[in-house]
Structure 1
Amino acid sequence: MSSEPVDFSRGSVAEVPEVMTGVLLVGHGGFDKLEYRSDIPVPTPGPAEVLIRVAAAGVNNTDINTRIGWYSKSVKSSTDEGATQAQDLDATWTGVPMSFPRIQGADCCGRIVRVGKDVDPSRLGERVINANTLRFYVNYRPMESWVFGSECDGAFAQYMKAPSSEAHTVDCDWSDVELASVSCSYSTAENLLHRAGVKPGEHVVITGASGGVGSAAVQLAKRRGAFVTAVAGSMKADEMRQLGADRVVPRGESLVKHLGKETVDVVVDVAAGPAFADLLDVLKKGGRYAVGGAIAGPIVELDVRTLYLKDLTFFGCTFQDDVVFRNLVSYIEKGEIRPLVGKTYPLKDIVTAQQEFLSKTISGKIVLVIPD
Structure 2
Amino acid sequence: MFSPSASSSLYLFTTSQTPLPPRYPHPSKPKLVLPSLVHRTLHNSLDGDAPSLSFDQGNGKGTVIIPHPDGLVKHDLPSSSNSTSQSQSHNPSPNGNEIPENGLLDESSKYLVDSELTVKLHLVSRSSPSKYLERVKESLGILEKYKGLSKEKVDTLLIGFKGVDYKGKRTETDSDLTSLADGDGEYTIEKQLESTILDAWKEMFEEKGLVGEQTKLGSLYSPLNLLKQLVSSSQGKGNVKGIKVNALDTPDCHHLPKEYTGYARGEGVELWAGGGGEGSDPLPSPHLHNLLQEFSSKLSSLTGGTIDSSLLGKLIGVDGDGLKFEEKRGAVDVRWVLSYTLVSKTRNVVKDKGYIVAADLYP
Instruction: Give the TM-score category using the shorter length.
Output: under 0.3
